[in-house]
Chains A and B, each alone.
Chain A
Amino acid sequence: MIGRSLAGVLLGLTLAIALTGLAVLCWPGGSVRVLVPAVVVFFPLYMVLILAAFLYRTASRAWGWMALANLLAFAALWIAQRTLQGLPS
């Protein structure tokens, strides 16, 4: 219970940020235009990811898959930050 909760609360948080951040950076027609909608989407996504940690058969599976998803999402985010236009500075 604790293991799964922590996986959802911690890894779900970073994953939700990475995924919404990625969607914003890839948004056709300019990232700035969808910043507030992205933050709105972030919260239900985070809630869903916390719940998702409870759908795995064991806590270690939840940690493993969510860590892997984080790794992929942050790798994609890293590439997107360096190749796409990003936010104006």
Chain B
Amino acid sequence: MKAETRRRLTELHTWTGLIAGFALFIAFYAGALSVFHDEIDTWAVPHPPAVSTDLIARGDALMAKIVEEHPAARAQIGMTLPGDHPSHEVAVYWFDKDWHIQGLDDAKPRGEDDEREGLADFVYSLHYTLGIPELGIYLMGLVSIAYGVALLSGVLIHLPHLVQDLFALRPGRNLKRLWQDAHNVIGILSLPFHVIFAITGALICLMTVAMVAFNVMAFDGKLVPLEDSLTGASPTVTASKVQAPMLPPHVAVEKARAVALASGADGFDPDYMRYLQYGDRNAAVEVRGRSGKTLGEYGSVALSAVDGRVLGVQVTGARDANHATYAAIFGLHFGTFGGTAVKWLYFLLGLAGAFLFYSGNLLYIESRRKRRSADQPLKVRAMATATVGLCLGSCAAIAVTFCANLVAAASGFDATMIVKPVFFVALAAAFGWTLWRRPARAAVDLLWLTAALSLAVAIADIALHGLRVDSGGAALAVNITCIGMAVGFASLARATARRVQSGDTNSVWAVAG
């Protein structure tokens, strides 16, 4: 590669990293936690309300009521099926110009973006929207594309030294070399994981947008009408205008399970079902569920909603390339294909990913450092402030949110009302603190704060609720992980403090004077 090309690629890598790095740090940190979404949810709701056994029957009645009031909902109306973590909501979804949602206990429907988020759901939505309503998911799609370009350019720049530097980590006086080595080694060793995330992240966020673009530019408007059949099992259903009674949900779910198992799926755990052309003689009912021993766990079975005849089967072992690929996108992204060990691997690689973006920013600062002056250029100071305020600030803010959830749950408040505002107030406070204290001191403060809060929340939870063995070990595992994270953040805090005290004074990481 010519030196000129390499320089341009380095510039591209720097800029895509700058644009996407902060969003990616938050996405990876929150994403790593979200690997254990259900466990965090179990932890966050220590005394879940008793679940009634007639949820499916109530959902059935609610759907019947909704199609009476909103005839347009007949085209597509469905419900989530009962799940096994406390804030999982059984709710009816229907399409009438827009998506509408009504939970079993809701008096009236709400819009798609008006989801009440508990702690686990909030951390998850932070992962893919940064907490920005409506546009956040598309923003993260664009960030994923920039991330892909940053990965490609990073690998190309590093390619000439890839093998010889693979296991090189050179501590010593040259800090830039150390950070460069750390950045490279993490980037290369977790490259397959990053490739998966750049592609599946972009896909999950932008698939519908891409479909519309292809529809217009390449397929003469014939793609969008097919879209449902590419991801679901049901063929297109046209209403006959002759009414017929519907197969009730519990019957449809049981039938679908039997059909999926007969088709060779390893288990079939239904989590969503929907009717197409509800109440019509031609109506179909489609049940989506998860199976084991496959990369893409989701599959679906479509039945006639009148007589239960099988209309389509797209489950593992019996599906086409479209459905297998679609399911694999989610399986690869969520790490649901391999049990607990893979989840822990995803958790650790997620944290390593966050470190990759953090170290990229440190590298930016270190390579632009003025070595002979205590005053550093504005861009270096701004970068240091943004890195500490946003990256470490969001770690601290998430820890604050965990504490707030614990306090709210213990004092009887509805935690879903507070988690989002608490996070953003805490993040703003952390950023303000960084501006005021300057990045060097603020980094140490925020790391100690995160460590202290992580430890405190685990101890407080155990003190308040005991070991909670009834949760199947989930709550205990969350508490132990919190303690582990506290140890990790504390060691980062100590290392950073050492740097501030005794490192080179001509740096943003030194305390002036």
Contact across chains for A51 and B199 when beta carbons are under 8 A apart: no
Q: How far is the CA of A86 from the CA of B230 in the complex (A)?
A: 16
Among residues 30 to 68 in chain A, which have CB atoms less than 8 Å away from a CB atom of chain B?
A: 32-40, 42-44, 46-48, 50-51, 54-55, 57
**A35 is contacted by which of B203, B206, B223 (Cβ under 8 Å)?**
B223
New A-B pairs, 8, CB < 8 Å, besides A32-B322, A33-B321, A57-B4: A4-B8, A43-B202, A46-B145, A51-B9, A54-B153, A81-B218, A86-B219, A87-B223
B323: which A residues are within 8 A, CB to CB? 36
Measured between beta carbons, the chain A residues less than 8 angstroms from B156 are 51
A7 within 8 A of B: no
Determine the chain A residues whose CB is within 8 A of the CB of B321 once the complex forms: 33-34, 36-37
- B240: chain A residues within 8 A (beta carbon): none
Q: Establish whether residues B9 and A37, one from each chain, have CB atoms under 8 Å apart when the complex forms.
A: no
Segment 1-20 of B: residues with Cβ below 8 Å from A: 4-5, 8-9, 11-12, 15
B409 within 8 A of partner (CB): no
Complex Cα distance A50/B147, Å? 12
B214 within 8 A of A: yes
CB–CB A1/B217 < 8 A:
no
Main SS at interface, chain B: helix
Q: A34-B321, A35-B230, A54-B8 are in contact. Are A40 and B222 (CB under 8 A)?
A: no
Task: Enumerate the 5 nearest inter-chain pairs by beta-carbon distance, A residue then B residue, closest first.
Answer: A21-B218, A47-B148, A87-B222, A36-B322, A36-B325
Is A47 within 8 A of B149, CB to CB? yes
A77 within 8 A of B: yes
* Cβ of A18 under 8 Å from chain B: yes
- Please name all residues of chain A whose beta carbon is closer than 8 Å to the beta carbon of B191 when the two chains form the complex: none
Q: How many A-B residue pairs have CB under 8 A?
A: 101
CB-contact partner of A39 in B8, B12, B15, B211, under 8 A? B211
- Chain A residues with Cβ below 8 Å from B11 are 1
Interface residues on A, range: 35 or more
Task: Specify which of B5, B9, B152, B217 is in contact with A48 (CB 8 Å cutoff).
Answer: B152
CA distance A1 to B213 in the complex (A): 26
Task: Given A1-B11, A17-B214, A86-B220, verify A36-B149 contact (CB < 8 Å).
Answer: no
Q: Answer whether A51 and B152 are a contact pair too, CB < 8 Å, given A18-B217, A88-B222.
A: yes
Contacts of B203 in A (CB 8 A): 39-40, 43
The answer to whether B148 and A44 have CB atoms under 8 Å apart is yes
The complex places the Cα of A74 from the Cα of B193 at a distance, in Å, of 34
CA distance A55 to B157 in the complex (A): 12
B322 and A87 form a contact (CB under 8 A)? no
**A80 to B107 Cα, complex, angstroms:** 53
Q: Is the CB of B148 within 8 A of A54?
A: no
Docked pose: A54 CA to B321 CA in angstroms: 34
Structural contact, B148 and A43, CB atoms closer than 8 A: yes
B230 touches A36 (CB 8 A): yes
Instruction: Choose among A36, A51, A77, A89 the residue that contacts B326 (Cβ–Cβ < 8 A).
Output: A36
Contact among A21, A39, A42, A51 with B153 in the assembled complex (CB-CB below 8 Å)? A51
B198 within 8 A of A: yes
Contact between chains at A51 and B12 (CB < 8 Å): yes
Known A-B contacts A47-B148, A86-B219, A87-B219; the reply to A40 vs B153 at CB < 8 A is: no
CB of A33, distance to nearest CB on chain B (Å):
6
| Closest CB in chain A relative to B299 CB, distance in Å | 14
- The answer to whether B322 touches A35, judged by C-beta atoms less than 8 angstroms apart, is yes
Contact of A40 among B148, B199, B320 (CB under 8 A): B199
| Residues of A with C-beta under 8 A to B429 | none
**Cβ distance B328 to chain A, nearest Cβ, rounded Å:** 9
Nearest residue (CB) in A for B5 is A55
Q: With the chains together, A57 CA to B198 CA distance in Å?
A: 27
Asked if B119 is an interface residue, CB under 8 A from chain A, the answer is no
The distance from the CB of A35 to the nearest CB of chain B, in whole angstroms, is 6
Partner of A21, one of B206, B214, B325, B329: B214
Q: Is B210 part of the contact surface with A, judged by Cβ < 8 Å?
A: yes
| Chain B CB within 8 A of A24 CB | yes
Picked from A14, A33, A55, A89, the residue with its CB within 8 Å of the CB of B222 is A89
In the complex, which residues of chain A have a beta carbon less than 8 angstroms from the beta carbon of B218?
Answer: 17-18, 20-22, 24-25, 77, 81
Instruction: Judge whether B207 is part of the interface by a CB distance below 8 angstroms.
Output: yes
Q: Nearest residue in B to A37 (C-beta to C-beta)?
A: B325
CB distance from B100 to the nearest CB of A (A): 27
Query: Is the pair A47, B145 in contact by a Cβ cutoff of 8 Å?
Result: yes
Identity of the chain B residue whose Cβ is nearest the Cβ of A14 in the assembled complex? B217
Chain B residues within 8 Å of A32, by CB: 226, 322
Q: What residues of chain B lie closer than 8 Å to A39, measured between beta carbons? A: 203, 207, 210-211, 214
Q: Is the CB of B152 within 8 A of A47?
A: yes
Cβ-closest chain A residue relative to B328: A40
Residues of A within 8 A of B329 (CB): 40
- Shortest Cβ distance from residue A25 to the other chain B in the assembled complex, whole angstroms: 8
Q: A residues within 8 A CB of B225? A: 89
Q: Hey, which chain A residues are within 8 Å of B199, CB to CB?
A: 40, 43-44
The winner among A21, A40, A48 for most chain B CB atoms within 10 A is: A40
- Within residues 65 to 80 of chain A, which ones have a CB less than 8 A from any CB in chain B? 77
Which chain A residues lie closer than 8 Å to B223 at the CB level?
35, 87
Q: Is the CB of B198 within 8 A of A33?
A: no
